[in-house]
Amino acid sequence: MIKDKFLMTSDIRVRFAPSNTGHLHIGGARTALFNWFFAKHHAGTAILRIEDTDRQRSTEEYYDAILEAFEWLGLEWDEGPYRQSNRMDLYQEAAEKLLSSGAAFRCTCTPEEVNAMRERARAKGKTPKYDGTCRDRYEKEPNVPFCLRLRAADTGETIVDDILAGEVVFENSQLDDMVIVRTDGMPTYNFCVAVDDIDMRISHVIRGNDHLSNTPKQVLVYQALQEATPKFAHISMILGSDKKRLSKRHGADSVLEYKERGFLPEALINYLVRLGWSHGDQEIFSKDEIIANFALENLNRSAAIFNPEKLLWLNQEYIKSADGGFLVDSLDAGLRKQGLPPDVLSRKTREGIVDELRTRSSTLVDMIEGARFFFEDDIELDEKAASKFLTSESSELMLKLRNELNKIDAFSSENVKSAFHRVMDEEAVKLGKLAQPVRVAITGGTISPGIFETLSLLGRDRSLYRLDAALGRVNQ
RNA sequence: GGCCCCUUCGUCUAGCGGUCAGGACACCGGCCUCUCACGCCGGUAACAGGGGUUCGAGUCCCCUAGGGGUCACCA
């Protein structure tokens, strides 16, 4: 969308904050999309922040892959990517502030001891949580390692005001004295999130529903830091066909994998956004249309099941109306990947090929597969089709057609059609009798675009060569 | 298990007290047709259950059931 230069940037600031412990998967992408469209709709600022405080599992490969995925999707972030690992000073400063104000305390309990506490509480039928052993043990022994915990209230309640869920009340008795800085000095997720969101002046936190239960913990950090909370919107999640959380088991769920499988970014975006969001009966939206109409209020609160068939349908819709040049480029790249040179046929011809294939391909991969035979020197015949259609009976017809094709002037689909009709009239056969054997001879199989167009696109030389090869086979 | 969220066709959804409960994907017919598609026409299919509130409830409230999430020195 062209930015209206008269439109002032609003105070709306949102962030998408994935961890680089895995690929950007479609669930995360949808969350990112909601954030991004919300920001654009309000002429606000969309920020990308990588949460890489997990030293064990974060990798640079995933970091790069996440950026690559966004690049492919065509989502540009107004700020970032910020990385939490570069912002340690900020967290340390906040932690010290909390320590000196008494909101946080040093805890020398070992993980084993804390686990034991939780077990004891569980055995008594109570909420398993840290028991507060170190809360008031202010004199600490030197050389004993410690972590920092945030002192949680034992009574009362913490209310999360959510745009979608309304006021959600959590009993403070459920809350733990959570660790905000680990023994190794690394700050923890729930702490960094709040500190960063404050520092980045985030106005709306839009994230998955799985974070709702975490929110009161973060609210506690805001309160301890004496900062106002942002507005929250916890969106529904995407589930697999088994109604379980999306995972590797459901197949390809990384965004980049959809690229590999021949999906167009516009189609993926359209599909993902429509999961939970709608605008009347409209199914197909350009980015600009989504920007114009997106509103958090229209978001569905219930989980959505990922439906690959509908994505496929949408993808084909996008392929049907895609720019021809783009499709040719995609075709060329796909062919080269398989070691087939695209330029055995002219670019104009390839444009004709993708035009024939666009109504027959639900993915770019399908399209390339459907175009293979145009570019192979020697096609592979499907045995079943060959034995059914390449018979001595059909070979006579094909031979006649071959001679007619050899005579025609320009090898246009119209002229090819005339050639067919001359043979059909002469032999008093219907088109089907002639077309299927020719199709098998030309394409190797029984499925292809219209036979006149196919021959015309393939060109006279290659067409006759293949016809001859098929004829030779029958006569053997 | 505690706490939290959710519940309209198989799936995505429209609906925001009065509709024959609409659209889309998928599926099933039909038309078109040289195959496969595309396109066009038509069809099957839903308010989880039970209580209220109301003249009237898919729409509001409660309960039950089911599904999901979360309870870490992971994010």
Asked whether the predicted pLDDT for residue A140 surpasses 70, the reply is no
3-state secondary structure of A148: strand
Percent above pLDDT 70 for chain A: 96
Checking each nucleotide's C1' against the CA of A445, the nearest proves to be B35
The answer, yes or no, to whether the previous bond of A341 is cis (omega within 30 of 0) is no
The per-residue pLDDT for range A43-56, each reduced to its tens digit, is 999 999 999 988 88
Asked if strand B comes closer than 7 Å to A413 Cβ, the answer is no
pLDDT band, residue A116 (cuts 50/70/90): confident
Separation CA A8–CA A5 (nearest Å): 7
Looking at residues A313-335, what average pLDDT do you find? Answer: 98
3-state secondary structure of A351: helix
Separation CA A164–CA A38 (nearest Å): 14
What pLDDT is recorded for position A77? 97
> Which two structure tokens, joined as six digits, stand for A464?
């006759």
Q: Distance (Å) from CA A186 to C1' B22?
A: 54
Dihedral (C-alpha) A391, A396, A397, A399: value to the nearest 10 degrees? 110
Asked whether the predicted pLDDT for residue A250 surpasses 70, the reply is no
**Which of the 334-393 residues on chain A come under 7 Å of nucleic strand B at their beta carbon?**
359-360
Asked if strand B comes closer than 7 Å to A278 Cβ, the answer is yes
Kind of pairing between the strands at A45-50 and A79-83: parallel
**Residues of A forming the active site:** 248
Looking at residues A450-475, what average pLDDT do you find? Answer: 93
The per-residue pLDDT for range A270-293, each reduced to its tens digit, is 999 999 999 999 999 999 999 999
pLDDT band, residue A4 (cuts 50/70/90): very low
- The dihedral built from the CA positions of residue A454, A457, A461 and A462, taken in this order, carries a sign that is negative
Percent above pLDDT 90 for chain A: 77
Determine the residue type at A212: L
Separation CA A457–CA A472 (nearest Å): 23
Looking at residues A379-386, what average pLDDT do you find? Answer: 91
What pLDDT is recorded for position A142? 66
Mean pLDDT for chain A? 92
**With 0-12 CB in 10 A as exposed, 13-18 as middle and 19+ as buried, what is A354?**
buried
Q: Distance (Å) from CA A330 to C1' B39?
A: 26
pTM of the predicted protein model: 0.94
Asked whether the predicted pLDDT for residue A93 surpasses 50, the reply is yes
Asked if strand B comes closer than 7 Å to A128 Cβ, the answer is yes
Count CB neighbours of A452 within 10 A.
19
3-state secondary structure of A109: coil
pLDDT band, residue A138 (cuts 50/70/90): low
Asked if strand B comes closer than 7 Å to A59 Cβ, the answer is no
Contacts 24+ apart (CB under 8 A), A92-96: A92/A181, A92/A187, A94/A191, A94/A195, A94/A225, A95/A148, A95/A180, A95/A181, A95/A187, A95/A191
CB of A23 within 8 A of CB of A65? yes
Asked if strand B comes closer than 7 Å to A451 Cβ, the answer is yes
CB of A245 within 8 A of CB of A251? no
What pLDDT is recorded for position A3? 44
Dihedral (C-alpha) A41, A207, A219, A232: value to the nearest 10 degrees? 40
> Which two structure tokens, joined as six digits, stand for A75?
């989502």
Q: Which residue has the tokens 């972590």?
A: A147
Helix (H) or strand (E) holding A149: strand A147-150
As ranges, strand B nucleotides with an atom below 7 A of a protein CB are 1-8, 10-14, 22-26, 33-39, 67-75
> Which two structure tokens, joined as six digits, stand for A97?
């502030």
Separation CA A250–CA A354 (nearest Å): 31
Distances (CA, A) of A470 to A353, A399, A460, A475: 23, 10, 15, 9
